[in-house]
Amino acid sequence: MNQAVDPKVDGLIRFRMDLSYEGSDFAGWAKQPGLKTIQGTLLDALELIFGKTVDDFAMRVAGRTDAGVHAEAQVIHLDLSVGQLKRLGRSDNVPAKLNSLLPREIRIKTFEKAPKDFDARFAASFRRYKYTIADSVSGWNPLFSRTRLWVTYELDTKAMQLAANELLGLHDFAAFSKPKANATAIRELKLLKISRNKSLGNVIEIELKADAFAHNMVRSIVGALVKVGAGKATPKDVAKALKSKHRGHGFKVVGPEGLSLVEVGYPANKDMAKQRAKARNMRSLGD
């Protein structure tokens, strides 16, 4: 971290932090009274270094993961004053300081001054998730019991891919997401790939990439694909559910244990402001 920086408006300087975590024992990302969360645990450590704050350092996250969900590449931003930065003294290795205070399930990877117009959430151009499943073909490795969904039967990955193809593109994913007031489920699903990873015991990996994801969207989609892979639904059933825009389709939301945020993408610095404005607009299928 470069401490010799000029203060921005209101004397605050924006920083980008990259981190990873194993979310099994956390009640999701967002701070909640009386619950152990990723954000709450991180804020406790930050306040030990920089002092108490009334606004949680204006922290914003790229993707608010649910309870039990993991992240290999989460991104946040926070705003610090010159006075707060002075509390670092001669040592400005913020990741090392934070990691010494955090549980081993959370690791800070980088902490850097953010580029102009950076916003961890609204400047992001895409998010990429991975969902891992161990079926009867791959077998169950207890060492990964907290980071994979285990099923007792074989899944047909070819049928799952055919169903996945029905979901690609710009759609209203209301049928595959939890309703949220004053929000839309219109998203552009850019990648939905199903494959077996032989190097990890032939487990099934479902890779999803979109401009953004609605609440429960990933786990809802995976639930539909699992049902198709088990021979209990067809790709046409998935396409029909998508077009219905309703959740009464019978596909279940799978558990969080197999899900991890693996990448957040951002545009070039010169395009950050444009991306922020685009992300704040209410989506429509006419965009």
* Residue 283 vs residues 104, 185, 287: alpha-carbon distances, Å: 39, 8, 7
Q: Which amino acid, 199?
A: S
| Residue 3 tokens, joined | 């401490």
User: Residue 10: is its pLDDT beyond 70?
Assistant: no
User: Residue 42: is its pLDDT beyond 70?
Assistant: yes
CATH code, domain with 250: 3.30.70.660
Residue percentage of the chain with pLDDT more than 90? 86
The answer as to whether 132 is a domain residue is: yes
The answer as to whether 279 is a domain residue is: no
User: Residue 5: is its pLDDT beyond 50?
Assistant: no
Three-class DSSP category at 263? strand
Query: Hey, which residues does 194 pair with through a beta bridge?
Result: 206
Per the structure, the complete domain to which residue 167 belongs is given by 126-262
Going by the DSSP 8-state scheme, the letter that residue 246 receives in this structure is S
Amino acid 248: pLDDT: 81
Confidence bin at 89 (pLDDT 50/70/90) = confident
Total number of domains in the chain: 2
Q: Are 45 and 59 in contact (CB under 8 A)?
A: no
pLDDT average, residue stretch 50-63:
95
Catalytic residue among 6, 18, 55, 66: 66
* Residue 143 vs residues 68, 73, 131, 222: alpha-carbon distances, Å: 17, 21, 17, 23
Q: Cα-Cα-Cα-Cα dihedral of 87, 90, 95, 96, to 10°?
A: -120
Tens-place pLDDT, residues 176-229: 998 887 778 999 999 999 999 999 999 999 999 999 999 999 999 999 999 999
CATH code, domain with 98: 3.30.70.580
Q: In this structure, are 257 and 146 located in the same domain? A: yes
Q: Is 66 a catalytic residue?
A: yes
Amino acid 286: pLDDT: 64
Q: Which residue has the higher pLDDT, 233 or 88?
A: 233
